[in-house]
Structure 1
Amino acid sequence: MKNFHMALMISQGTPMMLMGDEYGHTRNGNNNSYGHDTSINHFQWGKLEARRDDHYRFFSEMIKFRHKHPILRRDRFLTKKDVTWHEDNWDNHESKFLAFTLHDDKFGDIYLAFNAHDYFVKASVPSPPHKRSWHRVVDTNVESPNDFIPEGVLFTETVYNVAPYSSILLEAKP
């Protein structure tokens, strides 16, 4: 679920969330529970408390990250100048890996990679922008609370081994 929430928070436009998403409320698979006055629509405070230190914390930190980075809230479509695609295997229908960099000269670039394969993918990390270095902010494969570190952890390698069914976010900082 962290992968989907990260994808939602880095997407352009208004994020659409439902009450309970912050703790993983599934509504038992009912995607249209509007007319149900049953427990599937009740806010489950016990589940929120049980997940406060993992999913809820991750959810909250991703929202804060989005608010802090204007590049994630643009009022126009991205152009070639705004995004660089990495390992773009558009013709490979078997590929389940996506990586790109969002460019922001003022606040710093953001590198993202999503791996939907059932095996590790060695992602080539581009050189950071001038006088900046990459810091790992998110790795959804890492256990909470280290899956999201707001200040980031310095990352100096040129390859990131992205775990199966996970995603990463690197931020370029001075």
Structure 2
Amino acid sequence: MKNFHLALMISQGTPMMLMGDEYGHTRYGNNNSYGHDTAINNFQWTQLDARSSQFRFFSEVIKFRQTNKVFRHENFLNKSDVTWHEHNWDNFDSRFLAFTLHDSKGADVYLAFNAHDFIVKAQMPSPPPNRRWFRVVDTNLASPDDFVPGGVPGISSTYNIAPYSSILLEAK
């Protein structure tokens, strides 16, 4: 769930969420549940309490999106807005995607998504001049280390991205 929420929040445009997404409420595949007067549509307070770490992650990613203009382009991204770090476009078995979103002031954001069932050792791009990478998100880590608002310094030239996880690095 954290991977999908991160992907939604870094997407350009208006993110679309349903009440309950913040704690993982399910409607069991029913995309037209409005007519059900059952738990399928009721806010499940006990689930929210039980999944407080999911709620915390959800809230922090929303705050991060709101404070970074790199996620709010008014026009389609062009070559100066994004750098793709993918070299396997023709490999249909590749389940890894990495890119950097560029900020005009150098506050770039690097993102990588690993949908493989094995670790991907990703080569980190160079940060903008006079900046270094800080790990803000690693969905493989347990709460509260999965999202650190100020970021964690010390990112080396490679990063082991765990199976079925994603990372977000911020240049500071």
TM-score bracket, normalised by the shorter chain, equals over 0.9
Offset of 1:35 from its aligned partner?
A: 1.6
2:15 pairs with 1:18 = no
- Whether the aligned pair in 1 keeps the contact of 2:106 and 2:128 (CA below 8 Å) is no
- Whether the aligned pair in 2 keeps the contact of 1:88 and 1:99 (CA below 8 Å) is no
Offset of 1:156 from its aligned partner?
A: 3.2
Classify the secondary structure of the residue corresponding to 2:111: strand
Aligned AA for 1:127?
S
Query: TM-score scaled by structure 1?
Result: 0.96
Alignment of 1:9-158 (within 5 A): 9-52=9-52, 54-106=53-105, 108-158=107-157
Offset of 1:105 from its aligned partner?
A: 2.7
Classify the secondary structure of the residue corresponding to 1:128: coil
Q: In structure 2, how many angstroms separate the alpha carbons of the residues matched to 1:130 and 1:107?
A: 8
Q: In structure 1, how many angstroms separate the alpha carbons of the residues matched to 2:26 and 2:169?
A: 29
- Whether the aligned pair in 2 keeps the contact of 1:88 and 1:98 (CA below 8 Å) is no
- Name segments (4+ residues, structure 1) moved above 3 Å: none
Taking a change above 3 Å as real, the CA distance of residues 111 and 147 of structure 1, as seen in their structure-2 partners, is: same
Classify the secondary structure of the residue corresponding to 1:59: helix
Aligned AA for 1:39?
A
Provide structure 1 residue ranges, at least 5 long, that are not aligned to the other structure: none
Query: TM-score scaled by structure 2?
Result: 0.97
- Whether the aligned pair in 1 keeps the contact of 2:135 and 2:155 (CA below 8 Å) is no
Task: Give the paired residue count.
Answer: 172
- Whether the aligned pair in 2 keeps the contact of 1:115 and 1:167 (CA below 8 Å) is yes
Provide structure 2 residue ranges, at least 5 long, that are not aligned to the other structure: none
Offset of 1:51 from its aligned partner?
A: 1.3
Offset of 1:36 from its aligned partner?
A: 1.3
Offset of 1:72 from its aligned partner?
A: 0.2
Offset of 1:122 from its aligned partner?
A: 0.7
Q: Matched residues, percent identical?
A: 70
Q: What is the Cα-based RMSD across aligned positions, in Å?
A: 0.9
